[in-house]
Amino acid sequence: MMHRVGATFYVIWGLLHLYAANGLYQMGVSMEPSILEARIVQGAWHLAFFGIIAIVVGVRWNWRNSAIGYWINIVTLSVVDVGFIFIVFLPHLSFNSPAILGPLFWVLAAIFSTFGYLREPRTA
């Protein structure tokens, strides 16, 4: 059951990042065409891509406690959120910011999916 809680947190993380990607995209397209505008839109693409990965892997593999799904989401989303924490969150935001939700759901997903991975029967 723990792996399903983890999968649910991965899906929430993914949905949150799709929402953030939309906001970032809207900000980017409202700017004058420039390299900065292009990089912001590219950042939105990356957020959307990682959000989709989290959702698809969470629903398809983490929900069934798949070893492959565990490693895809734990590695991919850890790289994404560790980068966010050190580059964006810690230097520029406070712990009262809604941006804490991404790392919070990532940590919860990692904890629950790891407990499920280690203590419950796995699929391939």
Buried b (16+ CB within 10 A) or exposed e, 60-91: ebbbebbeebbebbbeebeebbeebbeeebee
Using the structure block, give the residue that is written with the tokens 């790392």.
Answer: 103
Q: Collapsing DSSP states into helix, strand and coil, what is residue 120?
A: coil
pLDDT at 29: 95
pLDDT at 8: 98
pLDDT at 81: 94
**In this structure, how many other beta carbons lie within 10 angstroms of the beta carbon of residue 18?**
18
pLDDT at 96: 73
Domain membership flag for residue 124:
no
**What is the number of domains present in the chain?**
1
Residue 99: which residues within 8 A CB-CB, separation 6 or more? 88, 89, 93
Query: Which stretches of the chain score pLDDT less than 70?
Result: 124
Q: Which domain holds residue 18?
A: 2-119
pLDDT at 82: 94
pLDDT at 91: 84
